[in-house]
Amino acid sequence: MAEIIPLESLGRSTSRRPSAGVFESVKPDRLDRDRPDSQVVFGSSTPIDPETPTTTAAPSIAGSSAAFIPALPPVDGGRKAWAFLLGATVIEVLVWGLPFSVGILHVYWTNTLFHGQGESTITLAATLQTGLLYMSGMILGPVFEAFPRYTKFIMVGGLVAVSMAFIGSAFVTRPWHLIVTFGCLYPLGGAYLSALALYFPCASILFEWFQVRRGFAAGIMFAGTGAGGTIFPFVMTGLLNRFGYKAAMISLGLGYLIVGGLAVIPIERRIPVPRFSSTDPRPMRRRQIDWTFAKRKTMFFGMATILFTSMGNFIPSLWLPSFADELTMTSPSGVGLIAIMNAASVPGNTLLGWLSDRFPLPWVIALSCIGSALSCLFLWGFGTTSAPLIAFSLVFGLLGTSFSGVWSRMISIVAHDDPVAPALTLSIFSFVRGIGNISSGPISDSLLKVNALRGAAGAYGFNNYGILLIFTGLSILIGSATGLAFFEKHR
């Protein structure tokens, strides 16, 4: 059994000093790779039986009584790991359900609330919401890693900011007000108190709780996006039709606050955050960050893949409801098509995550990108009736919208065994995806004004959607090409 050493003996000038890194950081991959079911005591390499209660010394101020902390919870399973995953999945539903079904609100804003007013402004608000939500990760990643003890505080602040964005949007009277509320307040909040502040710790702390099952667990969590995208269209449509716009937005804001508050409770770190450094007796206020991982070529391949796929993957969520509305489709309507697409992404995220655990990553990226691009070019491209559009929604949801299911494997390859790198890599990937999402809005709006394929078959000749469909498919295919270079030595 690991020896327990009171901190007072470590703090004095004796020959028995703690080795470097004992209280600085623990690398979960290295600790748990060989013994995923064992627990490890800080400062000891001895594995501990999970059923044996164990304590270990924690840093304390000189002159106080010795402090002890329990051994680490088991990785890849256990009550706390599954509770964390449940809470993270619910937060995923809340944070990403609205952006992935914003096409429903886009139609309502354009055709009902602000009919004939500022269509470009409304489109910008819809794309800003998702784009800035991703891009704010560039700020939040370093903030969470430098000040990890304030994680829960920042998450609660983000929850309040998002609730205020919903309620504030209930009182808009001009299209540009949507840019302030949905476009900026929802993704950015007060500085870094935003929707991503609520979600970001879930995606980064996941790497502490899951090792062997990491891709599968990430797939479950990311499936929350599809679940939210399936639920939100019907909830929003029902509230809008029954209670009107103002009551609907206020209800969503209050519901978000209550459900999100419950989901935050089990979001805890598996590896305790150290208060002291092994070389400095004063409490640590800011953790130093090593950015070496950002120079690896896999980082640049990953950024290119995410940039091009995000430019194409967001377009169907934004414009498919409008396309169905212009076709006057009712069985299913635009709401139904978006719900089908997001529902298909639930098993899609889990499937791609599971595949990324078992097959070379370029293969999985190629499957996702080529399958979703071909569905856009052929099923939507030649689809002006229900059957091909339903088929497109199913295939694109399964392979395209669920592309984030492979992110955990991409991040693992970039980060290697660095315990700090996953959160920072996620923040960079999120920023790049935000650039792709934001740029897809103005680009798609401009392409819909190009009448280059008049008289073409199917959707290619309908209301200028042809050039938009070609752009969408080619963007995703380019992402597939860069993903093929994102190689690794398969385990």
CA triplet 120, 383, 329: central angle to 5 degrees? 65
Here the tokens at position 104 are 């429903």
Specify the pLDDT at position 6.
Answer: 43
pLDDT tens readout for residues 243-279: 988 999 899 889 989 998 999 888 888 877 666 555 5
The residue whose two tokens read 């991409």 is: 410
Q: What does the block give as tokens for 102? A: 């914003």
DSSP string, 290-355: --GGGGSHHHHHHHHHHHHHHHHHHHHHHHHHHHHHHTT--TT-HHHHHHHHHHHHHHHHHHHHHH
CATH class of 76-288: mainly alpha
pLDDT score, position 191: 38
Residues 371, 375: Cα–Cα separation, whole Å: 6
| pLDDT at res. 227 | 84
Which one-letter DSSP state was computed for residue 193? B
- In the structure encoding, which two tokens stand for residue 381, read together? 């491209």
Q: Residue 370 has what pLDDT?
A: 95
Tokens representing residue 465 in the block? 């959607």
Q: Describe the crossing of helices 119-135 and 195-209 by its angle, rounded to 10 degrees.
A: 30
* Angle ∠(433,435,441) on CA atoms, nearest 5: 105
Q: Which of 70, 17, 66 is nearest to 41 (CA)?
A: 70
> Closest Cα partner for 375 from 245, 472, 488, 264?
472
Burial 437-452 (b: 16+ CB within 10 A, else e): bbbbbebbbebbeeee
DSSP H or E segment with residue 125: helix 119-135
Tallying the residues shown for the chain, one arrives at 491
Nearest to 341 by CA among 402, 384, 388, 406: 402
User: Sign of dihedral through CA atoms 261, 265, 271, 277?
Assistant: positive
DSSP bridge partners of 68: 57
Domains 76-288 and 290-427+443-491 share a fold: yes
DSSP 8-state symbol, 71: P
pLDDT for 147 equals 73
Is residue 267 within 8 Å of residue 91, measured between CB atoms? yes
Span 272-324, pLDDT tens digits: 766 655 555 555 455 566 677 777 888 888 899 999 999 999 899 889 988 99
Residue 455: phi, psi to the nearest 5?
85, 0
- CATH classification of 290-427+443-491, choosing from 1.20.1250.20, 3.30.590.20, 3.30.413.10, 3.40.1390.10? 1.20.1250.20
- Percent of the chain predicted with pLDDT > 90: 15
Cis omega (within 30 of 0) for bond into 6: no
Write down the pLDDT at residue 275: 60
pTM: 0.65
Q: Where do the structural domains in the chain lie, given as residue ranges?
A: 1-72, 76-288, 290-427+443-491
Contacts of residue 476, Cβ cutoff 8 Å, sequence gap at least 6: 308, 309, 312, 313, 369, 372, 373, 376, 400
pLDDT score, position 377: 94
Residues of the chain with pLDDT under 50: 1-67, 190-192, 284, 490-491
Please tell me the distance from the alpha carbon of residue 18 to that of residue 5, in angstroms, as a whole number.
Answer: 10
